[in-house]
Amino acid sequence: MKIGIAQINPTVGDLNGNLEIMVDAYQSLCQGGAELVVFPELSLCGYPPRDLLLKKSFGSDCSEMLNKFVQYTKECPALVGYPELCSMASGKAYFNSAALCFNQEVQQVFRKRLLPTYDVFDEHRYFAEGNASMSFAHAGIKIGVSICEDIWNVSGDLHPTDPVKNLAGENISLLINMSASPWHQGKHDQRLAIINQVSHDLNCPVVYVNAVGGNDELVFDGGSVLLDSKSMGMHSLPFFKSDCQVIDSSKLPQHQDCKDDQLECTRKALVLGLRDYAHKSGFTQGLIGLSGGIDSALTAVLAVEALGKENVIGISLPSAISSEHSKSDAQKLAKNLGIVCHTLPVQKIVDSAERELADLFAGLEADVTEENLQARSRGLLLMAVSNKLGALLLTTGNKSELAVGYCTLYGDMCGGLAVISDLPKTQVFELARHINRDVEIIPQNSIDKPPSAELRPDQKDSDSLPDYSVLDGILQAYVEDGLSVNSIIKMGFEKNVVKRIVALVDRNEYKRKQAAPGLKITPLAFGIGRRMPIVQRYSN
């Protein structure tokens, strides 16, 4: 069978825009000889719609848009993901559904059975579980339909039921999986293993169609595939870009995994997430405070690739204690990237604030309060430029800093998107070197010099924090793996260091709750997938 895979980039809530993309994809794939066209999960409204589903008219508007799409269909069927209104007797207003549409009618509806409620997912909040048939006959074969999570219970430990086992008794010849599966590092291998297992269990090819693009913190990587049951033949669509292709399931090339290495995937994910966050929010320009350090340099490189060098504005904000290399490295980066870089000194603002606070602070020792006046002065100017020019201010803090609170509220945390906030500092260095692999883009001095916030003379990150390789190891164990203090110490980390870092992570939850949204690229990011209380006293 010739299957048209519509790996599209929907925008959440843009029903008219999504309809236009889908109609174009359907017509193009039909002209290319497709006998069946498949769209991603909830393609009509975008994923995840979250509390848009609670708006009174959202469901009826989606139904109206589905009816408009149906009018474009002819004899070639299309599987369309949409939120289906259901009886409130179930306690939920919707099913997460797929409509089989052809000859200007909805011929059959399939409803997602497994609703994830872990990490970034909260589908039980909105959807009822389906329990109807998940197969249909077309072109002389029986085809099974599954929606994203429906194939993820092959281990049997995520949900009490397994739709794949149910389909195994129906003798299907092909399985369709319509997904909106967000990317994180390592996700591709995990996903391909699942698809392989499902294909083997059902003894039939699997068509996996994934959404692509950024929606809020989440990045969807596409990577749609058609895999045969012997794992010998596979056709993959590109990662991190929209694409529509007609694939003949009887003529699959030999299995070849064409994904990039982790660093290149991370770069592409961050670029795509930044581009879509900006453009889908109505921004064309990005604004970055350039410190001469590696974090702001990496953020600027990603912004230029995402938005174009003509749409990225750099601002150097030196104070009286800023080193000469911090200023020269910022200027060199701007020249390498071909972006405009303005210089706005902050010392007069810092001095003015210190004078106004002098009487109130009389008799008190200078401390981090005075240091933070520099960061907050920079935030003041950056936000003013952002407001005046309508440019999206990009914060430049990394995951390691955000974890331990090595950042200043209303200072360097100001901004609309935290581009690398889920990238540990050790990976910041790795990605910077990866970007420089062919030609120096990020000044080598920005990579080589000891990291510093430069809020006091000769300050270095190492004055307050352990080596980043140690810090990131502890953070990986505590934040992402959920290990206890004692378990982390048994891994070989020094006891007092572990206790201090864990205390910093817990103490700074209030800062993270006020941070700009950040692009998720690890299995567990600070954001919607991690819901720690701000006020709590569990310290194990």
Last residue of a domain, one of 392, 425, 453: 453
Res. 497 pLDDT band, cuts 50 70 90: very high
Q: Is 308 left (phi over 0), alpha (psi -120 to 50) or beta?
A: left
pLDDT the model gives residue 50: 96
Residue 236 lies in a domain: yes
Q: For 6-35, what is each residue's pLDDT tens digit?
A: 999 999 999 999 999 999 999 999 999 999
Taking residues 516-526, report their average pLDDT.
96
Same domain, 299 and 230: no
Mean pLDDT on 140-160: 90
Domain-located, residue 465: no
- The pLDDT of residue 246 is 96
* Residues 280, 175 share a domain: no
The tens digit of pLDDT for each residue in 38-81 reads 999 999 999 999 999 999 999 999 999 999 999 999 999 999 99
- Region 305-328: what's the mean pLDDT? 93
By annotation, the residues acting in catalysis are 41, 112, 148
Considering 208, 238, 259, which residue would you say is the last residue of a domain? Answer: 259
CB-CB neighbours of 529 under 10 Å: 19
CB 50 within 8 A of CB 78: no
Instruction: List, as one string, the DSSP characters of 72-84.
Output: T--SS-EEEEEEE
Check residue 249 and give its pLDDT.
85
β-pair type (392-395, 286-289): parallel
Peptide bond into 48 cis (omega under 30): yes
| Same domain (yes/no): 168, 244 | yes
What is the predicted pLDDT for the residue at 160?
86
Mean pLDDT of 157-164: 87
Question: What is the amino acid identity at position 348?
Answer: K
The 10 Å Cβ neighbour count of residue 411 is 22
Q: Using 50, 70 and 90 to split pLDDT, how confident is the model at 325?
A: confident
250 shares a domain with 283: no
In this structure, the answer to whether residues 197 and 305 fall within a common structural domain is no
Residues 83 and 132 in one domain: yes
pLDDT in the model for residue 88 = 65
Give the per-residue pLDDT at 25.
Answer: 98
**Mean pLDDT along residues 230-237:** 77
The predicted pLDDT at position 279 comes to: 98
Tell whether the model's pLDDT for residue 125 goes beyond 90: yes
| Residue carrying structure tokens 């709750």 | 513
Confidence class for position 307, pLDDT limits 50, 70, 90 = very high
For 332-449, list the strands marked E by DSSP. 340-343, 392-395, 417-418
The answer to whether residues 511 and 480 touch, using CB atoms and an 8 Å cutoff, is: no
Tell me, what's the pLDDT at 321? 86
| Segment 420-434 mean pLDDT | 97
The count of structural domains within the chain is 2
Checking if the pLDDT of 540 tops 90, the result is no
- Residue 137's SS3 state is strand
Neighbours of 133 (CB within 10 A): 15
Contact 239, 208 (CB under 8 A): no
Q: Do 270 and 208 fall within a single domain?
A: no
Q: Residue 531 domain-assigned?
A: no
Residue 159 has pLDDT above 80, yes or no: yes
Least confident of 80-84, 315-319, 454-458, 510-514: 454-458
Q: Indicate the residue among 437, 453, 469 that finishes a domain.
A: 453
In this predicted structure, the answer to whether residue 170 has a pLDDT above a threshold of 70 is yes
For the chain, give the mean pLDDT.
Answer: 94
Residues 223 and 284 in one domain: no
Range scoring the smallest mean pLDDT among 140-144, 255-259, 510-514: 255-259
**In this predicted structure, which of 154-158, 255-259, 286-290, 456-460 has the lowest mean pLDDT?**
255-259
pLDDT single digits (tens) 353-392? 999 999 999 999 999 999 999 999 999 999 999 999 999 9
Question: 420 or 91: which carries more pLDDT confidence?
Answer: 420
Whether residue 348 is contained in a domain is answered as yes
Task: Verify that 245 and 351 share a domain, yes or no.
Answer: no
**Residue of higher predicted confidence among 313 and 327:** 313
Do 10 and 43 contact (CB within 8 A), yes or no? yes
What one-character DSSP code corresponds to residue 424?
Answer: -
Confidence of residue 255 (pLDDT cuts 50, 70, 90): low
Average pLDDT score over residue span 494-515: 96
Q: What is the CATH number of the domain that holds 16?
A: 3.60.110.10
Average pLDDT over residues 137-149: 95
197 and 315 fall within a common domain: no
Residue 412 resides in a domain: yes
Q: Flag whether 171 is in a domain.
A: yes
Residue 256, pLDDT above cutoff 80: no
Coil, strand or helix at 275? helix
Banded pLDDT at 258 (limits 50, 70, 90): low
Residue position matching structure tokens 């194990």: 540
Residue 294 falls within a domain, yes or no?
A: yes
Residues 234 and 303 in one domain: no
Q: Is residue 539 part of a domain?
A: no
Q: Answer yes or no: is pLDDT of 233 > 80.
A: no
Give residue 71's domain range.
Answer: 2-259
The CATH number of residue 334's host domain is 3.40.50.620
Q: Are residues 154 and 275 in the same domain?
A: no
pLDDT score recorded for residue 89 = 59
Residue from 46, 36, 34 nearest 8 by CA: 46
